[in-house]
Structure 1
Amino acid sequence: MTKTTNIQQDTFNVPKGYKKTPLGIIPKEWEIKRFKKLFSFKNGINSGKENYGQGIKFVNTLDVLSNNFMTYDSLRGSVVVTDNQKKEFAVVKGDVLFNRTSETPEDIGHASVYVDTQNAVFGGFIIRAHSLDNSIDIDFKKYCFATPSVRKQIVAFGNGAIRYNIGQEDIAKTLIALPPLPEQQKIAEILSTWDMAIEKQNSLIEQLELRKRGLMQQLLTGKSRLRKASGERFKGEWKKARFNNVFKVINIKNFQIPKSEYKETGKHPIVDQGQKTIIAFTDSENIFKNIPVIIFGDHTRIVKWIDFNFAVGADGTQALQTNKDNNLKFLYYLLFNTEIVNLGYSRHMRELKQKYFLIPPLAEQTAIAIVLSTTDKEIEIEKQKLTTLQNQKKGLMQVLLSGKVRVKI
């Protein structure tokens, strides 16, 4: 790759070899094209619920949102269709699928390209874009619809109150900056290298998490006993205990922050019952400091280990601690591995309080916690590597797909 002069999109000083366009400053060899000159568009099939679950594979919204490309085997759903419908709603290699409805404006109109030779069909919440010519390389299609200039237009075209929607006519109006085909292919080749590294890293993380689940099943049930420092395995029976004999529910209501006061950055993190460890930040000094604690989602059943000072988010965020006879980190893993019946958006703490737990002696609890904590640290290191790869790819996409950095052909 050879880097060009640093380009400011709003400058009047257009660098040599570049031109000013409605999408900003791009290389002279690149073209601005409207989607309607590149694709024909069609909405997907709507079928009766009795037709789903068998038949030909079909593309749905989740398939589009999950990846920038799809194969026949990667599609989740299937539907029974007639021969005429199979032809009318066919998805063929090179087709681009856009989701046309979303709960948030940011997710409207995301694109994924179909790369398989085995035809599928597509559902009613999808818009199919079929290429009119060979202006866009199939691998370049994996990336070119995710550029800020394209996404900004599509999001602006979306409309709705409760749900956001976009139609064929609006997508057809979208402009895109296209390099010559050889440059498209080289850009796609570079970005595909990062995709392969990201896929490999994801696979490694999945393997580590699978190993952790296996360890938890063995160690937290007593099926496998660890060795002491002396080399002898832990022995003795585990005691059966009720929730209230092991856990203490800590009142953290006084440290709750209204959602209207959430910030993207701030002095202190906010923790709630959701999947994310940190949901937002606050500058309030009214924070909970009696750490570490186990966070249990009363509505969500999510279990989290929190070892930093924090403010409390939404209702349903429950904090748990224990007494000196138990290792809190062990109890976190034990609770994490406990099955709790899903009651929907109801309170689950009362179900949890009815549970019995098998508790080993403190020394064995500590040994188990150390093993599982070490596994967690390994997973976290690999997740950090994954984040680095994802950020590198994002940076490459920003400069390569805008022409700020050119590739050698």
Structure 2
Amino acid sequence: MTIATEWKETAVGSLASVCRGASPRPIASSRWFDTSSNVRWVRIADVNRSNGRTLQTTTQALSSDGIARSRYLEAGTLIMSIAATVGIPVITGIPTCIHDGFVALENLKVDQRFLLYLLKSSEGRLRESGQSGSQMNVNTDIVKGLHVRIPVDRREQERIAAALWDIDDLITTLERLIAKKQAIKQGMMQQLLTGRTRLPGFSHEWVDITLGDHVSYIKTVALSRAQLDGNSPLKYLHYGDIHTRSSVMLNAASEDMPRVSKKLARGAGLLQQGDLVFADASEDPAGVGKSVEIVDIPDAGIVPGLHTIAARFDKEILADGFKAYLQFIPAFRDQLLRLAAGTKVLATTRSYISSVSLSVPEIAEQKAIAKVLFDTDREIEALRIRHAKARNIKTGMMQQLLTGRTRLPVEATA
């Protein structure tokens, strides 16, 4: 193995023929489209829905008349958006036509996949060169004139592209695993939280309860983020921090959180382990009833903050751990949604929560259900961590490999 020593400055126009797409007019005419056609019509939404490397499907296809008035491309062509969302490249995996919001890069004098990643890394520079108007766009001259630096040895280009393609494969695999695990968890919740499926060893009848008979509420303090004090040891739970979480559990002792001075938090109640804290409003129905269960508290304490409802349930009725999944019980969500309907911002209130009636299993079964769901959540979180690390590794690889700061060895010529 040896390391190629030479990189050169060049421009995209020296590496490829850059040809703009074309659009049949008027574009809304049904004459140009045919759902049975094998030649697909590429829109930026199709590119955004792709895996970022290969475009395998689009929502529309062109008729023979539409094809004649657009720019036809064979499968395996590198294209890039130059209007609206500028600088998004992808390789077509199917025969396509592109409109004038795209360019095709053909007759390549560089490895195609290497150029794909090189264009991805140049997206910011392309946008800076764009012409502002009703929407951002660049022309073919700007694309042709984009300065880039490439290794002269094509084998090094190929190895760089292969390394980046491999990390993208890993990222895609992890995304699929996360989606699969989430679907499995969703099915488990639908079965276990309704009693349709019982865990081994449990057969007692579920009991009907009204939450208001078993809950008390902790006083909150309404403060904006501007009023928070990062130097205070007292932690503060804001409704936005509930909405943005993927985990239904909150270890307030170990997680980094906003802080508030004891003076401003005067009068607020301190949260305890097992308390369930709801965000009290959401513009999205999926956010209604969103909550986190406190699993550990810091020495200095934690207070519930702006737009939260802090609930403390009888532990003889709702077990620690199980409460975190209350938000996914269909009867609970359906009742809160029905009460919240008809407003622009969907509200969750103390009275709404208290009015909810539902069936729950005995405490031992609640704990068993919670363990199964929590174990699944931990698996998903572990995959998310791996996914985030892989994305960070890819970012670092692109910064190093596409600039020549880090070199990959190539096979020596015999």
- 1:322 pairs with 296, 313, 317, which one? 313
Evaluate the alpha carbon distance shift between residue 202 and residue 53 of structure 1 in structure 2; reply closer, same or farther with a 3 A threshold: farther
Pairing 1:1-400 to 2, within 5 Å after superposition: 28-35=6-13, 38=16, 39-42=18-21, 47-48=27-28, 54=35, 57-66=40-49, 67-73=51-57, 75=58, 77-79=59-61, 81-87=62-68, 88-92=70-74, 93-98=76-81, 100-101=83-84, 108-116=85-93, 118-122=94-98, 127-147=101-121, 150-158=122-130, 165-168=136-139, 170-180=142-152, 181-227=154-200, 233-242=201-210, 244-245=212-213, 252-258=220-226, 272=240, 274-276=243-245, 282=258, 284-285=260-261, 290=271, 292-296=275-279, 297-300=281-284, 301-302=286-287, 303-305=290-292, 307=294, 319-324=310-315, 325-327=317-319, 329-338=321-330, 340=334, 345-349=344-348, 353=353, 356-400=357-401
Q: Cα distance 1:71–1:64, how it changes in 2: closer, same or farther (>3 A)? A: closer
Worse-matched range after superposition: 318-327 or 52-61: 52-61
Match of 2:253 in 1: none
TM-score by length of 2: 0.71
Aligned pair in 2 of structure 1 residues 42, 221: CA closer, same or farther (>3 Å)?
A: same
Q: Deviations over 1:156-179 (max 9, x none)?
A: 235669x85223255454322233
Q: For residue 221 of structure 1, report the CA deviation from its aligned partner.
A: 0.9
CA distance in 2, matches of 1:380, 1:347: 28
2:187 is paired with a residue of what secondary structure?
helix
Aligned residues: 362
SS at match of 1:196: helix
**In structure 2, how many angstroms separate the alpha carbons of the residues matched to 1:186 and 1:249?**
61
> Aligned in 2, Cα 1:225/1:194: closer, same or farther, shift over 3 Å?
same
Distance 1:311 1:114 in 2: 52
Contact 1:191 1:393 survives alignment (8 Å) = yes
Closer/same/farther in 2, CA of residues 345 and 171 from structure 1, 3 Å limit: farther
Cα-to-partner distance string for 1:320-361 (whole Å, 9 max, x where unaligned): 553333125323323135355686843143796575422222
- Aligned match of 2:250: none
CA contact (8 A) 2:78 2:116 kept: no
Give me the whole-angstrom Cα distance separating, in 2, the residues matched to 1:319 and 1:187: 52
Which deviates the most, 48-57 or 130-139? 48-57
User: How far apart are 1:222 and its partner, in Å?
Assistant: 0.8
Question: After superposition, what is the alpha-carbon deviation per residue over 1:355-382, rounded to whole angstroms, capped at 9, x for unaligned?
Answer: 5422222222222112211111122122
SS in 2 for 1:406: coil
**Paired letter, 2:161:** A
Seen in structure 2, the aligned counterparts of structure 1 residues 217 and 282 have a Cα distance that, compared at 3 Å, is: closer
Change (3 A) 1:355 1:267: closer
Question: Compared with structure 1, are the counterparts of its residues 381 and 254 closer, same or farther at alpha carbon in structure 2 (3 Å cutoff)?
Answer: same
Q: Measure the CA separation in 2 of the matches of 1:344 and 1:183.
A: 59
Q: Does the CA-based 8 Å contact 1:64-1:99 persist in structure 2?
A: no
Q: Which residue of 1 aligns with 2:251?
A: none
Deviation (angstroms), 1:29: 3.0
Moved more, 54-63 or 199-208: 54-63
Identity of aligned residues (%): 19
Question: Computing the radius of gyration over CA atoms, which structure comes out larger, 1 or 2?
Answer: 2
Secondary structure of the 1:90 match is: strand
What whole-Å deviation, never above 9, does each CA across 1:305-331 have from its counterpart, x for those lacking one?
354777889x76555553333125323
Cα separation, 2, equivalents of 1:363 and 1:97: 57
> Is the 1:96–1:114 Cα contact (8 Å) retained in structure 2?
yes
Give 1:113 shift: 1.4
CA contact (8 A) 2:238 2:308 kept: no
CA change 1:320–1:178 in 2 (3 A) is farther
Compute the TM-score of the two structures, normalised by the length of structure 1: 0.72
Specify which structure has the higher proportion of strand: 1
Q: Aligned Cα RMSD in Å? A: 4.1
* Aligned amino acid, residue 121 of structure 1: C
- Point out where structure 1 has 5 or more consecutive residues left out of the alignment: 5-16, 18-27, 102-107, 228-232
Distance 2:224 2:42 in 1: 42
Say whether the 8 Å CA contact 1:282–1:311 is kept in structure 2: no
CA shift, 1:34, in A, is 4.1
Identify if the C-alpha distance between structure 1 residues 334 and 114 changes in structure 2 by more than 3 Å, giving closer, same or farther. Answer: same
The secondary structure found in structure 1 opposite 2:359 is strand
